[in-house]
Amino acid sequence: MTCTLCDLPTPDPPLTDPEVPGEYCCRGCLEVARTVEDPTDVDGETAAESVDAGPDDAEGETAFLSVSGMHCATCEAFIESRATDRAGVRSASASYPTETVKVTYDPDETDREAIAAAISGLGYRADARDVGDDADETVSTGRLLVGGFFGMMTMLWYLLFLYPVYLEVSPELLLFDLSGSAGAYLVANVWLMATVVLGYTGYPLFRGAYVSLRAGHPNMDLLVALAAAAAYAYSTVVALFGGTEVYFDVAVVVVLAVAVGNYYEGAIKRRAAGRLADLTAERVSEARRRTDSGTETVDVESLTPGDEVVATAGDRVPVDGPVVEGRATVDESLVTGESTPVAKEPGDEAIGGAVVVDGRLVVAVEAGEESTLDRVVRTLWDVQSTRPGAQRLADRIAAVFVPLVFVLAGIATGWQLFAGARPGAALLVGLSVLVVSCPCALGLATPLAVARGVREALDAGVVITDASAFEAAPDADTVVFDKTGTLTTGEMRILDRVGDDRVPARAAAIEQYADHPVAAAIVDDVDAALPSVADFERAPGRGVTGRLAARADGATQRTDEAARRADGVAVAAGSLDLFESRDWEIPETYSERAREASAEGNVPVLVGWDGRVEGVLVAGDRPRPEWEAVVDDLAADRRVVVLTGDDSAAAARFRAHDGVSEVFAGVPPEGKTAVVEQFAGDGTVAMVGDGVNDAPALAAADLGIALDHTALAAGAADAVVTTEDLTAAPAVFDLTAATNGRIKQNLGWAFVYNAVALPLAVAGALNPLLAAVAMGTSSLLVVLNSSRSLLSEAEE
């Protein structure tokens, strides 16, 4: 039987509640189920699919492809159509921000290589999802450099020769006469350089325009491409008939201005696209299968129900399954986020992806079992690939604005012809309408403001990896915190010492040989040099024992004879179970303190020698000193929720804080994603986390903020805090709100400009050159406004 919420195996009997439908694997999932409207509708394994209600329920195999060359959100619809046109493809869902397409297909009719080939073309390249995009980035840089060089050359010729003629400068002051063959030669050179800029640098722009027409979603690329193409085509015709009043400069300026903005936006997108390289490196590809003659190494995919796999110290458990033999302590923090190592023995469920710290486990392979770590990977892929593409406001407006401009240009041209103007003059009026409305200011409004926000966020110790953060953060009404490694340090430390003064040193003496987070905390707590230990022995899941070969308190240097007299002092450190199983004397004071520590969510380590417990060391994950101030800051106008894979006792201090609205303890990764999505149904949700197990929830949230502990969490997040200071998290909200305000200012100016300039162009009061100057002035104002500091606005 599997959990109704997260689809993990349930114990026998499963956890139930008469008021909550379903059966659950742990108390954490049961607590989550109490908050959702219908827990039977929340499947943690496929929870990400609810983010985008696309046709993702089709049967077949699933593949994730990386598609380089995606230029705008319109590319999503185009890529999806190219994929689904391939026979055997059941569904396709593309994501522009992560440059990913998820396809479901029938393996009997096609394969992923054929699908990739069908998608590739027109500047797109589809590959296996783990292939990087360095080549694509190099091509983009090359286009910009080539365009910049030839664009500067074009403008230089205009400044030296053509503009003076247009401004009717005296012929005596000109470098040479443009009326003859010299003029034709100069215009031919300008035409050639402009052709390079439009044909090479402007190729993604014109491809985007074509794609928008194919997809039936006109965007700003279409308007910019038409303006540049119209200026270029008109000027080419004029040049062929020997004229010199050409507008190649307009075409060049338009293409380069948009290319710079798109290059910057592409840089943000490349940083935002998580490649999961670190996580997939942690996945187990091989397992040691037990046989009659010992063990053999096989691929995990070849395991079948009934097989038994062996995992020893340092190994990752290859698959989920019941422990049938052995005892061990395992570290499940990578998968579950639970900071405390867990003891496993026959009858317990082992989690695939967890690391065996000490001991040895034999895990049975059951039907349909896979690694929990694999499920985390797949959930993250689902969320990232099916999340809707980040639509800029300019593209949303384009559906109305672009057709309107075309209509106005046509009306202006027709009216001029009706009024008796020459065809050439009438076409110039229509061209002026296209050029003056060319949305450089509108297109630069968002990326330039975002650029400023990114730079100032870096100064505050925050890396913005996805520009969508600037839209989502100001609207966030719920902030979900992971506990371990976020509100806490994520590292075990000794919090309390009870008993004999020799307890810390003697415990450290034997724990120095153990590979265990609690052991490391005990050793780090002692400054003195540690003596060696004889007859060291692990008791997996319970503790360690050994015999001191020197004084554990290390007071003085001793002779060999004194050292021999000290040999034989047996020291043990571990759980109550360890000492009870060996019939050691356990004073009530120490057993009671151990139970109290466990109830607090900490790890008690009893320490004793010569058959008697002499003290207790309490290890735990310490809260960050600034966590209360951060919660108070955010709780002033937002709901704050805490999620943790630890048990309820470990979360008690957070539940008691007035600023925390709800705490969910014992929640597995799939449950975290389900909680985030449930809150997302009521508003905008921000998730703050650090670990691999948080990555799906970070990706599912409207705004994901990661502390920089793992590359996976950073790849799934929209913002990454790099300073190890949790106070930077509220700064994300302040800076993004200020940046969002700056974007609105820029867009407001762009709309005002169009409201004034368009009627003038339609009335024939602007020629293409004046239209280009007006467009450039508008863009300059947007640049100047974007360059102002955001810090003062954030402080306000």
Rounded CA gap, 150 and 249, in Å? 11
Cα–Cα dist 524/748, whole Å:
58
**Greatest Cα-to-Cα distance within the chain, rounded to the nearest angstrom:** 120
Bridge pairing between strands 476-482 and 684-689: parallel
Structure tokens at 729: 């998290």
Q: Which helix (H) or strand (E) element contains residue 349? A: strand 349-350
Helices then strands, counting H and E runs in the chain, come out as 29, 27
Specify which residues 17 forms β-bridges with.
20
Say how many Å lie between the first and final Cα of the chain, rounded: 54
* Strand boundaries in 612-731, DSSP class E: 612-623, 639-643, 660-664, 684-689, 703-707, 719-721
Q: List helix spans (H) across 602-662.
A: 627-635, 652-655
Closest CA to 616 of 516, 491, 506, 527: 506
Separation CA 409–CA 661 (nearest Å):
56
CB atoms within 10 A of CB 38: 9
Is residue 685 within 8 A of residue 705, CB to CB? The reply is no
Q: In a 3-state reduction of DSSP, which class is residue 623?
A: strand
Separation of alpha carbons 276 and 294, rounded Å: 35
Q: Among 606, 574, 571, 609, which Cα is nearest to 590's?
A: 606
Selected catalytic residue, list 482, 525, 633, 647: 482
Burial 160-183 (b: 16+ CB within 10 A, else e): ebbebbeeeeeeeeeeeebeeeeb
Q: Which amino acid is at 282?
A: E
Q: Can you tell me the distance from the alpha carbon of 467 to that of 464, in angstroms, rounded to the nearest whole number?
A: 7
Residues 386, 677: Cα–Cα separation, whole Å:
14
610: left (phi over 0), alpha (psi -120 to 50) or beta: left
Cβ-Cβ contacts under 8 Å for 629 (sequence gap 6 or more): 727
Q: How far apart are CA 192 and CA 180, in angstroms?
A: 19
Which of these, 122, 112, 48, lies nearest to 83 by C-alpha position? 112
**Cis, peptide link before residue 13, omega less than 30° from 0:** yes
Give the per-residue SS3 of 4-35: CCCCCECCCCCEEECCEEEEECCHHHHHHHHH
- 304: which residues sit within 8 A by CB, 6+ positions away? 365
* 793 contact partners, CB below 8 Å, separation of at least 6: 738, 741, 742
For residue 159, count other CB atoms closer than 10 A to its CB.
Answer: 11
> Which pair of tokens denotes residue 59?
């049967």
Signed CA dihedral, 743, 746, 752, 755: sign only: negative
| Cα 474 to Cα 718: distance, rounded to the nearest angstrom | 14
Residues constituting the chain? 796
Q: Which residues contact residue 336 at a Cβ distance below 8 angstroms, ignoring those fewer than 6 apart? A: 351, 372, 645, 668, 669, 693
Q: Confirm whether 482 is a catalytic residue.
A: yes
Catalytic (active-site) positions: 482
